[in-house]
A and B are shown apart, each in its own frame.
Chain A
Amino acid sequence: MSDTTTGRREPTLPDGWELVCGLEVHVELSTATKLFCGCPNEFGAEPNTNVCPTCLGLPGSLPVMNGAAVTSAMRLGRALDCRVQPSVMARKNYFYPDMPKDFQTSQYDQPTNEDGHLDLPDGTTIRVERAHIEEDTGKSTHVGGDGRITSAEYSLIDYNRAGVPLLEIVSHPDIRTAEEAKAYVAELRGIVLALDVSDARMEEGSMRVDANVSVRPVGSDELRTRCEIKNINSLSSLGRAIVHEANRHVDLWTTGERPLQETRHWDEEAGRTRSGRSKEDAEDYRYFPEPDLTPLQPSEVDLEAVDASIPELPAQTRARLADVAGVTPPEVGLIVDRGQASFALDAIDSGADAGRVLVHLTNNLADGVGEMSSSAFAGLVAMEVGGELSSTQTKEVLADMVATGRDAPVVAAEKGFEAMDTSELEGLLDGLIADHPGEWERFSTGDEGDAKKMAGFFTGQIMKATRGQADGKVVAQLLNSRK
């Protein structure tokens, strides 16, 4: 995910063409129960054990709206600066074996949230058209053939997921590069996690992204035929799928053909999109208001409570951490995305060098801080900056602290990492100069390149002699002082 926050840009398309992309992101809400019934909303249960008359769509069953799901939806709406408004559930009618009622209960022309926006870390604004409540479907497993839907002999259906509450967040087609698309999803995920409304795991399917992709000549404002890409299972797939699909469109347009408006599936292995089944009849979902549910009309009091429940969001956290650390917000993006911002702030607050804190969190603590407390971490950084530990030693001590939660001095002492006496290094260097006079000559009087190369040579020799225990910074100072 690192390239989403460091702002690395790749040209998505050939010169003269521009990507026009909007995203539909489905987020499974982490409520205790499903959207319309009291069945547990949990991932990984035995098939068809979390089912009841309502979520199985049995004849005679009726839905009752989960109030917690509505609250989560309104909170996300406010976090995306949407208008949070009265809403109506509707039925979207189409046949699908994973969908027990053969209609999906979803919001349609009156969604809970409309007209918001999401600002990417680099400042780009992507408009959010709507964020609405709907129910999830069950899950099919295709059996026989090569396991793909197209060749299966039969399918098996598990309805545990049927009726799980979803929020569908629909962006305007404001996205212009694959990197922006990834940044949008990463930022949305950060907001969802900050709100604690979903665990938003793409690999488990609790966050799913469909991309509407079209292209146009740069400078035009037309909207050409778009394709909806489904089956995208990770951020990197999202980027690859968009680049592939957009280039496919450019190829078609430039050879005088045109893309068909259709749903396409991303084939991760083949690295390409494939056409879904073409339908004889244009889709006609025959939406109408769900007569078994009542309209939702949040009061001023409800909305005030929702506002009061919105925590600090990633953009604010980035700004706060960047301010404290004296860097720009994108530089702390990864730390905030990983949920390590408050750890970083606590460590800096305990007196740790902000620069080293950011470096360690970004590069050495990707898998989390484990058992280590922020104050213990601050102690380690202090030892490192004070020259008591070399950077290699610091890393080793850090790994131990993450695993055990012990304090830095204890670990350092156990590992025998005593600060090396400078006089010892001076003696070592004297010997090296005597043994390598030519190299020393090149270091002291050679051009910049030569000096750099020879500094590396002498540092390496010292490290070898001390088995890596010498502090690189101290060695560099020593070398320069003898120049």
Chain B
Amino acid sequence: MSKLSRDDVAHVARLAMLDLSEAEIDTFTAQLGDVLETADAMAELDLASVEPTHHPLGLVNVVRPDDVRPSLDRDEVLSQAPEAEDGRFRVPPALGEE
């Protein structure tokens, strides 16, 4: 595997919506690099013909009937919101000044 770079860490932080200082990028680059190095041990295995396991129990076709269940009380829901207005959640503009 290629070595994790500072740019990789900065890119991943942007995807994850985290703001890192230069010093944090340095620290995380080293720490995540160490973990990825141990993960590279998996490359020793011949996995070409191995099927992945996504569900340990192997359940399939779990569906529910199309029956209405009670919804939550709106006041209770909105009381948890950092900001609400007019029965809705309020957020800053989508494209405000950077």
Establish whether A and B are touching in the complex (CB under 8 Å).
Answer: yes
Tell me the complex Cα distance, A350–B65, Å: 43
For residue A296, which residue of chain B has the nearest CB? Answer: B61
B74 within 8 A of partner (CB): yes
Q: Which secondary structure characterizes the binding site on chain A?
A: loop
Q: Are B92 and A154 in contact (CB under 8 A)?
A: yes
Task: Report A-chain residues with C-beta under 8 Å of the C-beta of B90.
Answer: 154-157
Tell me the complex Cα distance, A316–B70, Å: 42
Select the residue from A150, A155, A286 with max chain B CB neighbours within 10 A.
A155
Q: Given A33-B67, A48-B89, A149-B94, 6 other A-B contacts at CB below 8 A?
A: A33-B68, A40-B68, A49-B74, A64-B64, A97-B94, A154-B92
Across the interface, A47 reaches (CB within 8 A) one of B62, B69, B88, B92, namely B88
Task: Report A-chain residues with C-beta under 8 Å of the C-beta of B47.
Answer: none
Identify which of residues 20-76 in chain B touch chain A, using a CB-to-CB cut-off of 8 Å. 54-55, 59-72, 74
Task: Report B-chain residues with C-beta under 8 Å of the C-beta of A157.
Answer: 88-91
Q: Are A142 and B63 in contact (CB under 8 A)?
A: no
Q: Are B67 and A32 in contact (CB under 8 A)?
A: yes
A342 within 8 A of partner (CB): no
Across the interface, B65 reaches (CB within 8 A) one of A37, A67, A289, namely A67
| Tally of contact residues, B, Cβ under 8 A | 34
Selected A-B contacts with CB under 8 Å, 26 pairs: A32-B67, A38-B68, A38-B69, A39-B69, A47-B86, A47-B87, A48-B77, A48-B89, A50-B71, A65-B64, A66-B63, A66-B64, A67-B66, A69-B66, A95-B17, A141-B88, A149-B94, A156-B89, A157-B91, A159-B89, A281-B15, A293-B62, A295-B55, A296-B60, A296-B63, A297-B61
B18 to chain A, nearest CB (A): 11
A207 within 8 A of partner (CB): no
B85 within 8 A of partner (CB): yes
Q: Which secondary structure characterizes the binding site on chain B?
A: loop
Interface residues of A (CB under 8 A from B): 31-33, 37-40, 46-53, 56, 64-70, 88, 95, 97, 140-142, 144, 149-150, 152-159, 277, 280-281, 284, 286, 289, 291, 293-297
Task: Report B-chain residues with C-beta under 8 Å of the C-beta of A152.
Answer: 93-95
Task: Report A-chain residues with C-beta under 8 Å of the C-beta of B14.
Answer: 280-281
For residue A48, which residue of chain B has the nearest CB? Answer: B74
Q: Are B89 and A65 in contact (CB under 8 A)?
A: no
Interface residues of B (CB under 8 A from A): 11, 14-15, 17, 54-55, 59-72, 74, 77-78, 85-95
B59 to chain A, nearest CB (A): 5
Sorted nearest first, the 4 A-B pairs with minimum C-beta distance are A38-B69, A67-B63, A68-B66, A156-B88
Tell me the complex Cα distance, A95–B77, Å: 21
Tell me the complex Cα distance, A70–B86, Å: 35
Tell me the complex Cα distance, A31–B59, Å: 24
For residue B55, which residue of chain A has the nearest CB? Answer: A294
Tell me the complex Cα distance, A297–B58, Å: 12
Task: Report B-chain residues with C-beta under 8 Å of the C-beta of A144.
Answer: 93
